[in-house]
Amino acid sequence: MITVLRLGHRARRDHRVTTHCALVSRAFGADAFVFSGDRDSSIILSVDDVVKRWGGPFEISYVPSWRTWLNKQKAKIVHLTMYGQELNKAIPCIRKVKGDLILIVGGEKVPREVYEKADFNVSVTLQPHSEVAGIAVFLDHYFKGKELVKKFKKPEIKVIPQEEGKKVVKL
């Protein structure tokens, strides 16, 4: 089981980026998404709506204290940070982990404690870019691209791939 933890959500500024983080977590094969910072029920509603229509399972929840939540978890922790080890070097070790994984992405300023708690601090490119892309590319490498064709359970609709135009079918 892979849970993505997004730290330090700010309701106004981060609304769309955190929503994208959650949708990317689902689309690229994570099982759950937890965020801390500002409480923001509209993100939960919109992600739950995607799960209802496009399939699951995928859980999203808000926790007031990421620290309290994290201290209860037994999973190994991967922290995505541009300062960490290179993805290609880290991923073979991470793939050997048995049991659950927590993938942490930060907000504006990540406390030093997160670097220390992490079993793996991992950088996707060593360049400044986006936590949205970090989650996607990490999971894509972790699953070796198999998540690209993941089948979700109980979708109401699905896309039929087209060379041109759009085709969505109700199930």
Site residues, its own copies (CB under 8 A): 13-14, 16-17, 20, 23-24, 26-28, 50, 54, 81-89, 112, 115-116, 118, 121, 123-130, 132-133, 135-137, 140-141, 145, 147-150, 152, 158-159, 161-168
56 beta partners: 153
CB of 100 to its own copies, least distance (A): 21
Would strands 120-123 and 76-86 be described as parallel, antiparallel, or unpaired? parallel
Identify which of 26, 6, 18 has the alpha carbon closest to the alpha carbon of residue 139.
Answer: 26
Report the residue number, 64 or 155, with the smaller CB distance to its own copies: 155
What is the distance between the alpha carbons of residues 2 and 8, in angstroms, rounded to a whole number?
Answer: 20
In angstroms, what CA-CA distances link 47 with 6, 62, 168?
A: 14, 12, 19
Report the residue number, 37 or 64, with the smaller CB distance to its own copies: 37
CB count in 10 Å sphere of residue 95: 12
CB of 158 to its own copies, least distance (A): 7
Residue type, position 35, single letter: F
CB of 65 to its own copies, least distance (A): 23
Report the residue number, 64 or 166, with the smaller CB distance to its own copies: 166
What is the distance between the alpha carbons of residues 156 and 116, in angstroms, rounded to a whole number?
Answer: 42
Report the residue number, 49 or 61, with the smaller CB distance to its own copies: 49
CB of 40 to its own copies, least distance (A): 15
Q: Is 157 left (phi over 0), alpha (psi -120 to 50) or beta?
A: beta
CB of 125 to its own copies, least distance (A): 5
Report the residue number, 66 or 138, with the smaller CB distance to its own copies: 138
